Amino acid sequence: MKKTAIVIGATGLVGSHTVQLLLDDDRYSVVKVFHRRSTAIEHVKLDEHIIDFDKIETWRDQLTGDELYSAMGTTIKKAGSKDAQYKIDVTYPLKTAQTAARNGVKKFSLVSSAGADKDSKLFYPRIKGKLDDAVKELPFDRITIMRPSILDGDRSENRPGEHMGLTVMRLMGNIPGLKKYRPIPAQQVAKAMINSLQDDLNGYYIFEPNEVFHL
């Protein structure tokens, strides 16, 4: 029986690849996308919902399907403040996942980050770690957390600091012992997310940088 997938963060680097892979996958008959702006994709399987994440009560009944894929995330520079970034990186994905679980969605895959740790002194890995821990308590049959290294791919916005970081990480990836931290193509992370939900095993699984490459 064909499945229905749900995607949030669909216009981001990983999310856009996730949507396209799901649309091209014969195992899925419907791909539901919830976002603030259109993906500009036209496809018979695409069911697009333009929503306000602050008003989940207006669209929560539409969060139904078999699998939820969450690739939401931003930077402090783009968000404007730590509070705004926390809302996009933690609050929105968590509320969406909570609602989907209540609506009977059975499987959930989340893009996190290498080094995610709720006890970290650094803001970004700390909030990612908090979300990872929070979703562990949700009543999905299967939960998979991707913790990729720095993402490689073409973004819609210019991030000079990230371009520099990619160059450095590519060089570090040639050093023995540091290969697992080499940049990973965003499409590969999207494939890993989808692959991680294809078996019937239940539970909560975290895939660290090197493991994401092999999914």
- How far is residue 131's CA from residue 116's CA, in Å, rounded to a whole number? 9
pLDDT surpassing 80 at residue 10: yes
Is pLDDT at 161 greater than 70 in this prediction?
no
Q: What percent of the chain has pLDDT over 90?
A: 78
Considering the chain, what percentage of its residues have pLDDT values greater than 70? 87
CATH number of 3-210: 3.40.50.720
Tell which wins on pLDDT, 163 or 134: 134
Please give the model's pTM, rounded to 2 decimal places: 0.89
| Confidence tier at 176 by pLDDT (50, 70, 90) | low
Q: pLDDT category, 215, cuts 50, 70, 90? A: confident
Cβ atoms of residues 35 and 10 within 8 Å: yes
pLDDT over 80 (residue 21): yes
CA atoms of 173 and 166, how far apart (whole Å) = 10
Residues 6+ apart with CB under 8 A from 18: 7, 10, 69, 71, 190, 193, 194
Residue 168 has pLDDT above 60, yes or no: no
- Mean pLDDT, the chain, rounded, equals 90
Q: Which sequence spans correspond to the domains of the chain? A: 3-210
